[in-house]
A = this chain, B = another copy of it.
Amino acid sequence: FCLESHFQLLYTLGCDCYEEHSSSSRAAGMNGNGPSKFVDPLEDPLPGVGTYEDFNTIDWVREKTKDRDRHREITNKSKLSTVALLHSISDAFSGWLLMLLVGLMSGALAGGIDIAAHWLTDMKEGVCLIGFWFNHEHCCWTSNETTFKERDQCPQWQSWAELITGTSEGPFAYIMNYLMYIFWALLFAFLAVTLVRAFAPYACGSGIPEIKTILSGFIIRGYLGKWTLIIKTITLVLAVSSGLSLGKEGPLVHVACCCANILCHLFTKYRKNEAKRREVLSAAAAVGVSVAFGAPIGGVLFSLEEVSYYFPLKTLWRSFFAALVAAFTLRSINPFGNSRLVLFYVEFHAPWHMLELAPFILLGIFGGLWGALFIRANIAWCRRRKTTRLGHYPVMEVLVVTALTAVVAYPNSYTRMSGAELISELFNDCSLLDSSQLCGYKPVSVLADRPAGEGLYTALWQLALALVFKIMVTVITFGMKVPSGLFIPSMAVGAIAGRLLGVGMEQLAYYHHDWFLFKGWCSPGADCITPGLYAMVGAAACLGGVTRMTVSLVVIMFELTGGLEYIVPLMAATMTSKWVADAFGREGIYEAHIRLNGYPFLEPKEEFEHSSLTVDVMRPRRSDPALAVLTQEGMTVEEVEALVESTRYSGFPVVVSQESQRLVGFVFRRDLLISIDNARKRQEGVVGASQVVFTEHAPAHAADAPPPLRLRGILDLSPFTVTDHTPMDITVDIFRKLGLRQCLVTHNGRLLGIITKKDILKHMAQIANRDPDSILFN
């Protein structure tokens, strides 16, 4: 949803031109060529040949072959000299080194973001007198007098009202603090949105939809660049601190991927190969989740389940390494001062009872409904932003939403605190000494289920209001032009719902412990219901409903609690939530945003259900003009250029002859144009009338004819083919598993047509009764 400017450009041009090769960028691509002697395309590849345009899909097979060739060459050379052997060894270990660097850098950045966001969030409420750079907690640590007092009230920390008017009591001070809160929130939000708009438009949003698309082979230049990294890091801190209903988890994945992409430039192996780079990016996605939740294994599974497209076992192992390095870096930074990686680490002690599965499944249903509702509402809102005048005022939109959030949130302590703090409080189990309002039980002698007191009733009301508010405000927040993650708000919604249900169950069990349901389980004085566990289950259910994550979600939650015990409740809730949400629409929020933006993303999880054949999907259709093909010999440079200019295809099949239509190979438009241009400039005698020859041996030509232009070097001799009768489900499988961009279609050995990823996506959109033209790129 950050590519809207590109969209408008596309719409203005009135074409789906990103599929094709624009001549301006081609010229730009050529500028890199210094003056050189005669270049035989068979010998050394020209600069630019084998690379891709922006907003295009890579050919995985071609990239992997390139890498294997490179590797083979290094291995062969390594037997010749010691230097080459060392080079070969360093090449083999460069992947590990890169992972180490990615882990260190991402861990350090995540730590910095945590510390900065903590400080700025506290800044909204007051300031530390001994140094404005201390946050509330840190400020009171340094004070010796208050070691055993309540930490919240140390003299060094003053609220804004106290600082300005000298008193923190009374309605005037309250209003003063209220206004200062709104002021800071607006300031942070304004800075965030302005920075994003001015320096790095790609820095907004969560970034996960785009990263999924990039990992599937799409190219968006600059999306993972250094400016995006810098601006996203800064604005993420600002956005989180502004009190908006957003989290830092999604953007952290984006930040980690930016780190990985930038660090890739240090190693030729990864800089030059789009497929290899995507392996590193997959690992970086794992790193992002690892530092966001302190869950390295969960992060790896998240990358595997949710974002990655091509995930070989080598990447599994490396992601795990990088995720661990990042987690340990973050721990050594210790942003929360308790040697935990996240604010909401929990430890439960009480076991759960089989009967509790019923409320857990209820939470799952709630999570599924919330997920389905959220996705619909958010997509509708984003579509409205895209198509109406709303989209023209992004800064105003951010400011209005921030003001609204701040005004409504401040009076309610559960909305005033940050999302992570709220979740931490809701997950928390009440001990007898706990002073939190949520633990406002009536004092009884035993540490067990207790009757709710005044404090708890107030807390429940506030929580219910917070739930309604969070539900509504998250819908309009996610997708604004600031970095915004969805994990924390979703979890907060679920945690509130879960805690409410948990406390309800607890009171039910307390007052009705002789019901047959609670008998023998909730005897008076026994600790039988843990409201914190309900909050956690609710959080998992809501997150599952929105993202449709399954295993990775359960493992992340498992790593938060550390007990195998609680996997079953989590699993029951997540499964229910996924099933309920799937009943309303099978897409998760990320897939929905990918579709909204028209990215060429072929979902690897969904089976292709329709029974069409490849012949129904391929181009040309029956009414279309015949397929534009080149012949392996007999065409002149001028004819080739005319054909290329008259079409917009990004590649052309080469056949033996127009009559036989027997397929020889496939040539990319970009490679063809670069080679012809280069030959015309540098190869002597190549003129418009020269024959273009794709055969191995040039045919004899008359002595007075210009020398032929031999282009076998750029011809792909192993294009993928399927027959016209191949069922589309097999074709889609081939595209997915091999990562193809296009595939040729034959009938009884004759070339019949071509099918591209875009054709498949358009066909799928058509089947689902959607507008096939919503697929914008190829």
Kindly list chain B residues whose C-beta atoms are within 8 Å of the C-beta of A738: 733-734, 737-738
Kindly list chain B residues whose C-beta atoms are within 8 Å of the C-beta of A300: 551
A49-74 vs B: 1/0 string, CB under 8 Å?
00000000000010011001101100
Kindly list chain B residues whose C-beta atoms are within 8 Å of the C-beta of A312: 605
Kindly list chain B residues whose C-beta atoms are within 8 Å of the C-beta of A718: 614, 722-723, 725-727, 730
Kindly list chain B residues whose C-beta atoms are within 8 Å of the C-beta of A587: none
Contact B324 A733 (CB under 8 A): no
Contact A662 B730 (CB under 8 A): no
User: A474 interface residue, CB < 8 Å from B?
Assistant: no
Known contacts A61-B733, A723-B718, A750-B749; is-contact A317 B656 (Cβ 8 Å):
no
Kindly list chain B residues whose C-beta atoms are within 8 Å of the C-beta of A355: none
User: A719 interface residue, CB < 8 Å from B?
Assistant: yes
User: A555 interface residue, CB < 8 Å from B?
Assistant: yes
User: A568 interface residue, CB < 8 Å from B?
Assistant: yes
User: A660 interface residue, CB < 8 Å from B?
Assistant: yes
Residues 677-732 (chain A) with a chain B CB within 8 angstroms: 717-719, 721-723, 725-727, 729-730
Question: Shortest distance in angstroms between A301's beta carbon and chain B's nearest beta carbon?
Answer: 8
In the complex, residue of chain B having the shortest beta-carbon distance to the beta carbon of A610: B72
A595-615 vs B: 1/0 string, CB under 8 Å?
000000000110111010010
User: A748 interface residue, CB < 8 Å from B?
Assistant: yes
User: A328 interface residue, CB < 8 Å from B?
Assistant: yes
A742-764 vs B: 1/0 string, CB under 8 Å?
00001011110000000000000
Complex Cα–Cα for A297 and B558 (A): 10
Kindly list chain B residues whose C-beta atoms are within 8 Å of the C-beta of A717: 723, 725-726
Kindly list chain B residues whose C-beta atoms are within 8 Å of the C-beta of A737: 737-738
User: A75 interface residue, CB < 8 Å from B?
Assistant: yes
Residues 141-192 (chain A) with a chain B CB within 8 angstroms: none
Most buried by B among A312, A555, A605, A723: A723
User: A115 interface residue, CB < 8 Å from B?
Assistant: no
Kindly list chain B residues whose C-beta atoms are within 8 Å of the C-beta of A321: 571, 575
A384-400 vs B: 1/0 string, CB under 8 Å?
00000000000000000
Kindly list chain B residues whose C-beta atoms are within 8 Å of the C-beta of A734: 738
Kindly list chain B residues whose C-beta atoms are within 8 Å of the C-beta of A719: 723
Contact A317 B729 (CB under 8 A): no
Most buried by B among A64, A304, A607, A718: A718
Residues 288-328 (chain A) with a chain B CB within 8 angstroms: 296-297, 300, 304-305, 312-314, 316-317, 320-321, 324, 327-328
Copies per assembly: 2
Question: Shortest distance in angstroms between A637's beta carbon and chain B's nearest beta carbon?
Answer: 23
Contact A564 B729 (CB under 8 A): no
Contact A71 B609 (CB under 8 A): yes
Contact B324 A65 (CB under 8 A): no
Kindly list chain B residues whose C-beta atoms are within 8 Å of the C-beta of A611: 69, 72
Kindly list chain B residues whose C-beta atoms are within 8 Å of the C-beta of A575: 321
Complex Cα–Cα for A634 and B663 (A): 26
User: A361 interface residue, CB < 8 Å from B?
Assistant: no
Contact B65 A748 (CB under 8 A): no
Kindly list chain B residues whose C-beta atoms are within 8 Å of the C-beta of A551: 300, 316-317, 320
Contact B327 A656 (CB under 8 A): no
User: A240 interface residue, CB < 8 Å from B?
Assistant: no
Question: Shortest distance in angstroms between A517's beta carbon and chain B's nearest beta carbon?
Answer: 22
User: A543 interface residue, CB < 8 Å from B?
Assistant: no
Contact B328 A568 (CB under 8 A): yes
User: A567 interface residue, CB < 8 Å from B?
Assistant: yes
Residues 369-410 (chain A) with a chain B CB within 8 angstroms: none
Known contacts A555-B297, A722-B718, A749-B662; is-contact A68 B317 (Cβ 8 Å):
no
A537-554 vs B: 1/0 string, CB under 8 Å?
000000000000011001
User: A112 interface residue, CB < 8 Å from B?
Assistant: no
Question: Shortest distance in angstroms between A334's beta carbon and chain B's nearest beta carbon?
Answer: 15
Question: Shortest distance in angstroms between A55's beta carbon and chain B's nearest beta carbon?
Answer: 26
User: A664 interface residue, CB < 8 Å from B?
Assistant: yes
User: A562 interface residue, CB < 8 Å from B?
Assistant: yes
Contact A748 B664 (CB under 8 A): yes
Kindly list chain B residues whose C-beta atoms are within 8 Å of the C-beta of A730: 61, 65, 718
Contact B609 A68 (CB under 8 A): yes
Residues 336-384 (chain A) with a chain B CB within 8 angstroms: none
Question: Shortest distance in angstroms between A730's beta carbon and chain B's nearest beta carbon?
Answer: 6
Kindly list chain B residues whose C-beta atoms are within 8 Å of the C-beta of A71: 607, 609
24 contacts between A and B (CB under 8 A): A65-B730, A68-B608, A68-B609, A68-B727, A68-B729, A71-B607, A75-B609, A296-B567, A313-B604, A313-B605, A320-B550, A324-B571, A327-B564, A655-B749, A661-B749, A662-B749, A662-B750, A665-B725, A718-B722, A718-B725, A721-B746, A733-B738, A737-B737, A749-B751
